[in-house]
Copies of this chain bind each other. A is one copy, B any other.
Amino acid sequence: MSDLRQQAQDCKQASRRLAWLATADKDRILTRLAAQLRAQTDPLLAANRRDCEAGALAGLSDALLDRLRLDEQRIEGMAQGCEQVARLTDPVGREIAWTRPNGLLIRKVRVPLGVLCIIYEARPNVTVESACLAIKSGNGALLRGSRSALNSNQVLVKIIQECLTEAGLPAQAIAGVADLSHESITTLGRMNGLIDLMIPRGGAELIKRVVETSTVPVLETGVGVCHLFVEASADLAMAVPVILNSKCSRPAVCNSLETLLLDETVAFETIQGLEPEIKNKVRVQGCPRTLALLPWAAPATPENWDTESMDMILNVKVVNGLDEALEHIRRHSTGHTEAILTRDLESARRFQREVDACAVNVNASTRFTDGGEFGFGAEIGISTQKMHARGPVGLDELTTYKYWVEGQGQIR
């Protein structure tokens, strides 16, 4: 048997021990993990330094090096993350139950999924965050980080496993995948029966590869070509701040704005208000009518409308009313977050009903689609699929349910 398959089997077996661990025991492990991250800051920083040096030599971009780098503040952030997950409500064992006329008691009980396989890129904090969510939801986890964070992740997994062992649990319940070859992603994605859910956390390329090669179910997260439509009746005083917040507050995340749709009756006034805030700061790619209002904008190419820029780039299109806006969104939405600014009840209602996305916002920034902002606490990503989980994926969404049917010898 390959090492990878053996690891998955060990993880599956170990996950059964996690599945029904009492909440207090799980929380104790998470609190202990926080303390150990703080206590082991020095070896962690040393390992991370080796990764960063190797990354610099290998020519990683400054942005990637920044994502890779740990410092005391970021380690403290990871520790606080563990403590935050410890405070969240445990979904496992929550049930609804009813009794049938024949006396059968039907209990629908939340249970862990089993083993999660998380495939991620350079940020080492994803290792800790994923492990915490897996532990609290009673799942085992196979963590496959990137080669560039190898040393950091090894130390982190060692600390996590020490906390499990101290609590009398098998270390392999949370395992770092040693095989970091490209092929290992495909191999893991075909381990039906051992792995219950693949969770790619990273760019569109990574997600696409996992979706296309896996036979294990995949939680598709993240790609967000988000739209904001300023409808004819919109309160224009809210337009500029909401547009700026949606686009500029953190352009490299999935809930940031890509395309601004302007009703033709308010396009001139909105662009007038927006221009001084974005000139020399945001690259605008516009439709012909936008270019007439904003001569320094670049003409939008057909690809622009389908691209998640992850950058200070905004597509702008002037549309002829709600129907054209809905049609544009239907064609270009990735099912993440779509927003409308309007004062008209019927327009709000139609937009909410007809737009097929995990979050449909009325008079609010697109940036709110987030586990923390929704009040779920930590999340493992934003699901843009319709099956199982949609929107922020927190502890609840990392569980499934089963039916416990209890009788006294009933037959049918």
Contacts and interface: CB of A to CB of B under 8 A. Distances in A.
Nearest to A339: B405
A409 B197 CA distance: 37
- Name the 5 nearest CB pairs between A and B, nearest first: A364-B407, A238-B409, A245-B411, A388-B388, A386-B400
A296 interface: no
Nearest to A255: B412
A409 B363 contact: yes
Nearest to A385: B217
Interface size of A as a range: 35 or more
Contacts of A348: 406
A104 B217 contact: no
Interface stretch (A38-46, A65-73, A171-179, A366-374): A366-374
Interface string A352-371: 11101111111111011100
A268 interface: no
Contacts of A360: 402-405
Interface of A: 16, 19-20, 98, 100, 104, 106, 113-114, 196-197, 212, 215, 217, 235, 237-238, 241-242, 244-246, 249, 341, 348, 352-354, 356-365, 367-369, 373-375, 385-388, 390-391, 400-412
Contacts of A387: 113, 197, 217, 387-388, 400
Contacts of A373: 100, 104, 412
5 contacts: A197-B387, A358-B403, A373-B412, A387-B387, A390-B401
Contacts of A362: 404-407
A67 B362 CA distance: 51
Contacts of A98: 375
A402 B241 contact: no
B410 A364 contact: yes
Contacts of A401: 390
Given A217-B385, A238-B408, A387-B387, 13 more contacts: A19-B353, A20-B353, A100-B373, A114-B356, A242-B411, A244-B411, A245-B411, A362-B404, A363-B407, A369-B403, A369-B405, A390-B400, A391-B403
- Which secondary structure dominates where chain A touches chain B? mixed
A199 to B, nearest CB: 12
A405 B238 contact: no
Nearest to A238: B409
Nearest to A237: B409
B249 A386 contact: no
Given A106-B375, A388-B387, A16 B409 contact: no
Contact of A106 (B374, B390, B403): B374
A359 B405 contact: yes
A242 B409 contact: yes
A126 to B, nearest CB: 22
Contact of A100 (B354, B375, B400): B375
Contacts of A358: 402-403
Contacts of A237: 409
Nearest to A100: B375
A356 B138 CA distance: 14
A183 to B, nearest CB: 21
Contacts of A19: 353
A13 to B, nearest CB: 10
Contacts of A235: 409
B386 A113 contact: yes
A121 B246 CA distance: 50
- Most chain B CB neighbours (cut-off 10 Å) among A19, A98, A237, A407: A407
Contacts of A403: 358-360, 369, 374, 390-391
A406 B400 CA distance: 29
Nearest to A241: B411
A363 B408 contact: yes
